[in-house]
Amino acid sequence: MAKLPAISPLDGRLLGEYPAATADEIALKLQRARAAAGIWSQTPVRERCRILVKFGELVLAEIDSIVDCLRLATGKVACEALLGEIYPLLDLLAYYRKHAPDILADRSVATSPFAFPGATAGIRYRPVGVAAIISPWNYPFQLSVAPLLTALFAGNAVILKPSELSLPVGQLIVDLFQRLELPPDLVQWLAGDGSVGAQLIDAGPDLVFFTGSLEGGRAVMRQAAQHPLPVLLELGGKDAMLVFADADLDRAAAAAVYGAFSNSGQVCVSIERLYLQRQCHDEFLRRLLDAVAALRVGVGADVELGAMVSARQIELIKAQYDDAIAQGAAASGPLVCDGNFVRPVVLWNVHHGMRLMREETFGPLLPVMAFDGEADAVGLANDSEYGLNASVWSRDIAKAERVARQLQVGNWAVNDVIKNIGHAGLPFGGVKRSGFGRYHGAEGLLAFSYPVSGLTSRSHLPKEPNWFPYSAQHYRALQGYLDFVYGSGSLRQRIKRNWPALQAFREYSAFDLAQRWHNLKLLLTWHRNY
């Protein structure tokens, strides 16, 4: 059996070896997951909440060991692990504990007493069954557990396929969930690369939730389309930050440094394009360069940037850097790599023909361009195949929100960066090639459910107005009824021109509609005599 080594990007140490899942193992796990889902789906939502909220208690009790696992597996610094991986999950737990019962509650829907006499209608949300969650390496705890928890709150079983670059985190996640009062096999995981993910999709889960690159999302869609299976895709970004001259430049500069270089730029909502209004461009750039020069890269509690996860990603950002320099960009310095540790770089004199401005970077490079006014800023920001997140900076909140609403993104923030993705009540996801589907908020919970519509008739009528037999007279009566309900003009005008048609429906007054028809006749008589 093939084994996958887990190597720490910090120092190259072997963190463990994990057997790659086979097709037979995947099929068996899916079978067990379906049995567990059958039990869990019958568990009342409030009881699910009571059980799942204890996951947060486990995390808080073992927070240092979880952070250490994340630090060794991903190379990120401890504060980043705490703020980016753990805090959003605790907030999501608190949100769903409070709101999941109401979000998933049965809902009544009004019915027309004429079209549906004696009927009631409603919607019930059911779990999809077994959700396959394929998660990335940049935030392997948060971006695995957030959709996993959401799926569980909705009543599903989960099979998790983490990135092959973060296998110790996958093991940690499943170990934590196994300590909860959950049905056996409700949460399982698989070790493997993209081929194992493809086999998981082929095994036939009921939904696939994928977080990763655009190319990875395309591969997932192609595989899922063979069955077909519903997919939710949270893909890459090329997020723009628009800074107007009237912004608080000190705050905006600090935000740009954090937004671009948090987790060494390995964030789906990193600031990857910084647009500065021309009037403040030079001043802002000076502040930016000073702040970036002060950033510390390495290992320990007193650094801001840790290691990048893979050599492959470093090669990608090197290619973007070299392309920009070859096309005339200026840079704050050379691209300095010490193993997996990369110094952050700011580039300017850039344009949209450069790879740096069009392709997702996912690394510590920040390109800067000038813009002239609102229309120019919006045009530059929207000139991208991606549409995940964006931020607008100005003391004029009305202007900032006006600009933000014109951006082709799934999410935006005014005078803040990245943090809006962590709001548990706001649905998160992209447009254009940044994917589709949402998680977080009510929309996220419903994404792991499907609505079942029901209509119950309590009518004792021998037949409904739309049933056979048909006739020319029946056609005219129905036509008149439609004009009475939906046509133009006042109520009096609609009654007057459709009175013969309304009279034709008197036969439906005989049973449970008798009182309603009596009331209608009184109304019609009043209008006729008015």
Count Cα atoms within 13 angstroms, Cβ side, for 286.
3
Helix (H, G, I), strand (E, B) or coil at 386: strand
Active site (catalytic) residues: 234, 268
**CA end-to-end span of the chain, whole Å?**
88
Give the Cα separation of 165 and 389 in Å (integer): 26
pLDDT at residue 266 is higher than 70: yes
Percentage of the chain exceeding pLDDT 70? 95
Q: Do domains 17-109+116-235+442-452 and 239-424 have the same CATH topology?
A: no
pLDDT at residue 513 is higher than 90: no
pLDDT at residue 523 is higher than 70: no
CA distances from 33 to 40, 161, 162, 375 (A): 10, 14, 17, 52
Q: Which residue has the higher pLDDT, 57 or 513?
A: 57
pLDDT at residue 30 is higher than 90: yes
- What pLDDT shows up at residue 401? 98
Give the Cα separation of 110 and 127 in Å (integer): 24
pLDDT tens for 485-504 read: 899 999 889 989 998 888 88
- Alpha-carbon 2 to chain mean position: 33
Tokens of 525: 């008589």
Q: What is the pLDDT of the chain when averaged over all its residues?
A: 94
Of 75-84, 139-148, 477-486, least confident by mean pLDDT is 477-486
Residues 390, 392, 393, 395: is their CA dihedral positive or negative?
A: negative
Sequence-distant (6+) residues with CB within 8 A of 220 are 134, 197, 201, 208, 210, 212, 231, 233
Which fold is adopted by the domain 239-424? Aldehyde Dehydrogenase; Chain A, domain 2 (3.40.309)
AA letter at 410: G
Domain 17-109+116-235+442-452 matching CATH 3.10.105.10: the answer reads no
pLDDT tens for 343-397 read: 999 999 999 999 999 999 999 999 999 999 999 999 999 999 999 999 999 999 9
Give the Cα separation of 530 and 521 in Å (integer): 14
Count Cα atoms within 13 angstroms, Cβ side, for 141.
32
Of the pLDDT bands very low, low, confident and very high (cuts 50, 70, 90), residue 508 is: low
Query: Which among 153, 197, 210, 148 is positioned nearest to 173, based on CA atoms?
Result: 148
AA letter at 382: N
Domain ranges in the chain are: 17-109+116-235+442-452, 239-424, 472-529
- What pLDDT shows up at residue 515? 44
pLDDT tens for 185-229 read: 999 999 999 999 999 999 999 999 999 999 999 999 999 999 999
Give the Cα separation of 6 and 270 in Å (integer): 26
DSSP-assigned states of every residue in 352-384: TTSHHHHS---SSEEEEEEE-SHHHHHHHHH-S
Of the pLDDT bands very low, low, confident and very high (cuts 50, 70, 90), residue 282 is: very high
pLDDT tens for 386-440 read: 999 999 999 999 999 999 999 999 999 999 999 999 999 999 999 999 999 999 9
Give the Cα separation of 440 and 448 in Å (integer): 11
Of the pLDDT bands very low, low, confident and very high (cuts 50, 70, 90), residue 1 is: low
- What pLDDT shows up at residue 514? 45
pLDDT at residue 509 is higher than 50: no
- What pLDDT shows up at residue 119? 87
